[in-house]
């Protein structure tokens, strides 16, 4: 984070997102402020709160992509949640604190995987020893006939037996590493993960209980195992995974995950305009305002109880987004408005932007299709006028029907290349040129039939 300056953050975002320079600048500043906060004296550090952001703009202009790429840049814990989830069951929605629990769960799993990867080699060595124990005959090496001559002779016999077992083990190890035992089966005790089904009928959801019922019940029940016959390679994978899990210090992982979430977590609150009522006095609007009031303490800073321990939300960065077609950000309750001091309006996308989206980003749509068809040995070449025509049709369909931004390009490309994608494995012609006429012929019906285009996302 210390090496990422705001202009470098914007430069990195430019590789994947076209335009929206103001939004990129805002998130870059918010991210850099986190690093700055860590450098100030400790007594002042707690007073500095994150500058939460509201991204305002129609769907498909890059709001979610900006937040997701931002978290990838700094390896920050990230989760996306639709604010409308909290009202989807009328007056009773999902517990708003669940988004913090989800964020922590994702972070714990990510750090656990990272730790398991770090001890993979050691786990494999331990698993190999366990595998050799399974492969060695049950009785081991037959003992040599004892002679009652003298103590010295007895000692030699014991040594001889030990050497013979060791020699057999090393031979087995060599055969195992060469893959000569891959077709053999071993008996392996694996834990039976079936749990008794527990149904709880409650209007508050499992999150509200603040405990993990499954873990609690699992602690009371004896751990059941079942014996399975598995091939050596599969058994080796299972043993290595089990050993890697045993080598990971979960207390350390959880502690690190909580610190990471508290100091650098990002929660992306999508569709925040869906919880805004026009007047908030009657009907479903009451429930929407209730969701805003539930969100308020989490956003302004509170302690959320999770199964891993308490998590403070004071320094989590909240990025909210919404189209705000029928409502305005000022329709949010005043207390919540005050928690989102930065507001950025994203630009609608037109033909010029669509051309750039199709060709410029690292994950450009045309590059994706080129790579997909390359797997079948088919080379497709897009001429410039074809790309211009796709962009023009996308803008035209967006204007005629619902404006869904860059998402329109996905549908048009899929419709246009449908025949090639279907016939690619059997094609004799392995080089295809896509020109303006080809695009017009394939997309003419969609563009002209307004009723049909209405139903195409």
pLDDT in tens, 216-225: 555 555 566 7
What's residue 193's pLDDT? Answer: 54
Q: Domain check: are 78 and 132 in the same one?
A: no
Q: Which of 99-113, 170-184, 235-249 has the lowest mean pLDDT?
A: 170-184
Q: Residue length, the chain?
A: 457
Is 456 inside a domain boundary?
no
- d(Cα 261, Cα 257) in Å, to the nearest integer? 6
Is 316 inside a domain boundary?
yes
Q: Tell me what percent of the residues of the chain surpass a pLDDT of 70.
A: 79
Which of 293, 311, 345 is at the close of a domain? Answer: 345
Q: Domain check: are 303 and 237 in the same one?
A: no
**CATH value at residue 270:** 3.40.50.300
Q: Domain check: are 243 and 261 in the same one?
A: no
What are the residues whose beta carbons fall under 8 Å from the beta carbon of 101, sequence distance 6 or more? 207, 304, 306, 307
What are the residues whose beta carbons fall under 8 Å from the beta carbon of 136, sequence distance 6 or more? 165, 168, 169, 172
pLDDT beyond 70 at 202:
no
- Overall domain count for the chain: 3
Q: Domain check: are 79 and 132 in the same one?
A: no
pLDDT beyond 70 at 65:
yes
Containing 178, the helix (H) or strand (E) segment is none
Band the pLDDT of 311: cuts 50, 70, 90: very high
Is 108 inside a domain boundary?
yes
Containing 39, the helix (H) or strand (E) segment is helix 21-39
36, 40, 44, 49 alpha-carbon torsion, rounded to 10°:
10
Q: Domain check: are 234 and 259 in the same one?
A: no
pTM: 0.76
Is 306 inside a domain boundary?
yes
Q: Which residue has the higher pLDDT, 205 or 241?
A: 241
Strand partners, 401: none
Q: Domain check: are 47 and 11 in the same one?
A: yes
Average pLDDT, stretch 82-96?
A: 65
Q: Which of 68-77, 86-95, 246-255, 339-348 has the lowest mean pLDDT?
A: 86-95
Instruction: Compute the Cα dihedral for 352, 355, 358, 364 and give only its sign.
Output: negative
Is 1 inside a domain boundary?
no
Structural domain boundaries enclosing 212 = 120-141+149-247
∠ at Cα 59 (385, 273), nearest 5°? 165
pLDDT beyond 60 at 280:
no
Is 313 inside a domain boundary?
yes
Q: Domain check: are 187 and 293 in the same one?
A: no
Q: Domain check: are 178 and 289 in the same one?
A: no
Residue with tokens 């019906």: 445
Is 405 inside a domain boundary?
yes
Q: Which residue has the higher pLDDT, 215 or 208?
A: 215
**CATH value at residue 428:** 1.10.8.60
What's residue 177's pLDDT? Answer: 83
Q: Domain check: are 242 and 265 in the same one?
A: no
pLDDT beyond 70 at 137:
no
Which of 230, 247, 264 is at the close of a domain? Answer: 247
What's residue 224's pLDDT? Answer: 65
Is 35 inside a domain boundary?
yes
Q: Domain check: are 125 and 238 in the same one?
A: yes
- d(Cα 280, Cα 319) in Å, to the nearest integer? 23
Cα–Cα distances (Å) from 368 to 212, 353, 355, 358, 402, in that order, read 42, 18, 15, 10, 25
Average pLDDT, stretch 159-172?
A: 70
What's residue 355's pLDDT? Answer: 92
Which of 201, 220, 247 is at the close of a domain? Answer: 247
What are the residues whose beta carbons fall under 8 Å from the beta carbon of 450, sequence distance 6 or more? 400, 401
SS3 for 208-222 is HHCCCHHHHHHHHCC
Q: Domain check: are 181 and 210 in the same one?
A: yes
Q: Domain check: are 31 and 76 in the same one?
A: yes
């Amino acid at each position: 984070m210390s090496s990422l300056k705001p202009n470098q953050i914007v430069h990195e975002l430019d590789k994947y997102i076209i335009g929206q320079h103001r939004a990129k600048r805002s998130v870059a500043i918010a991210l850099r402020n986190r690093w700055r906060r860590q450098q100030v004296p400790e007594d002042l550090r707690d007073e500095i709160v994150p500058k939460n952001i509201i991204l305002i703009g129609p769907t498909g202009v890059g709001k979610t992509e900006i937040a997701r790429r931002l978290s990838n840049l700094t390896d920050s814990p990230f989760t996306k949640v639709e604010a409308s989830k909290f009202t989807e069951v009328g007056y009773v929605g999902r517990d708003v604190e669940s988004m913090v629990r989800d964020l922590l769960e994702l972070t714990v799993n990510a750090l656990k995987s990272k730790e398991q990867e770090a001890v993979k080699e050691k786990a494999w060595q331990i698993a190999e020893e366990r595998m050799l124990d399974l492969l060695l005959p049950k009785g081991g090496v037959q003992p040599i006939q004892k002679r009652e001559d003298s103590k010295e002779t007895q000692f030699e016999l014991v040594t001889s037996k030990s050497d013979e077992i060791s020699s057999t083990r090393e031979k087995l190890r060599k055969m195992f590493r060469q893959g000569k035992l891959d077709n053999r089966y071993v008996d392996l005790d694996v834990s039976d993960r079936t749990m008794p089904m527990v149904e709880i009928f409650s209007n508050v959801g499992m999150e509200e209980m603040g405990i993990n019922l499954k873990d609690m019940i699992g602690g009371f029940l004896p751990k059941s195992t079942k014996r399975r016959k598995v091939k050596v390679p599969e058994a080796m994978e299972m043993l290595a995974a089990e050993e890697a899990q045993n080598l990971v210090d979960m207390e350390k992982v959880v502690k690190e995950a909580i610190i990471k979430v508290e100091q650098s977590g990002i929660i992306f609150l999508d569709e925040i305009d869906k919880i805004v009522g026009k007047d908030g006095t009657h009907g479903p609007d009451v429930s929407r305002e209730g969701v805003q009031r539930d969100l308020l303490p989490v956003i302004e800073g509170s302690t959320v109880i999770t199964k891993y321990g308490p998590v403070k939300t004071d320094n989590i960065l909240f990025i909210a987004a919404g189209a705000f077609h029928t409502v305005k950000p000022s329709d949010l309750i005043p207390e919540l408005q005050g928690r989102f001091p930065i507001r950025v309006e994203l630009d609608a996308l037109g033909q010029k932007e669509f051309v750039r989206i199709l060709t410029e980003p690292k994950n450009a749509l045309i590059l994706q299709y080129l790579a997909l068809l390359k797997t079948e040995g088919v080379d497709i070449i897009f001429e410039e006028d074809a790309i211009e025509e796709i962009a023009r049709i996308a803008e035209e369909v967006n204007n005629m029907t619902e404006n869904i931004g860059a998402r329109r390009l996905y549908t048009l490309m899929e419709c246009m290349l449908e025949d090639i994608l279907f016939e690619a494995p059997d094609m004799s012609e392995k080089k295809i040129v896509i020109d303006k006429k080809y695009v017009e012929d394939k997309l003419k019906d969609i563009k002209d039939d307004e009723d049909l285009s209405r139903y195409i996302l």
